[in-house]
Amino acid sequence: MSPIMQQSTDVVNFHDLYTFDCDDNPIYFHSFIGKIVLVANVATQCASAYQLRQLEALYQKYKDRDFVVLAFPSNQFHQEKRGTNQEVADNCRKRFDVSFPIMEKVKVNGKNQSEVFRFLKENKHGFLNTKRVKWNFEKFLVDRDGTILKRYSTQRFA
């Protein structure tokens, strides 16, 4: 069982979470205390991939004000994100000029879902009180204290 799956009983705040980036480095979310975080599940091979450029523009505009975007590639929807974690990250950087942090590929729904997405979905339901992430580019906005403020649908850009 991965460490990500083991942390679920200890998580009471967004800042209690951790994950791994595309280079397999641990990312401890307590490092985001005092920052505003936008978490998004992303894909480069779908019709909404243009949102990567929009996320980058948002990141560039506000990063000096303690704002960060965390991109979580997922191939849970029609296998859009093929390749290794590093290949996916390189694709995001080269094709879409992304400079914000890119995490490892994750599952956003189901039995082996990322603990990050389990926590986000439990704490901010979607349209009609749904928990499930419906598609790529669903986004969660987290405030400086770790409270999930808003959940944005796939079609709506933050």
| 46 in catalytic set | yes
CB 66 within 8 A of CB 24: no
* List 7, 13, 20, 46, catalytic entry: 46
Say if residue 152 is exposed, middle or buried (CB neighbours under 10 Å; 0-12, 13-18, 19+): middle
CB 136 within 8 A of CB 42: yes
Residues 143 and 14: their CA atoms lie apart, in Å, by 9
Which residues are annotated as catalytic? 46
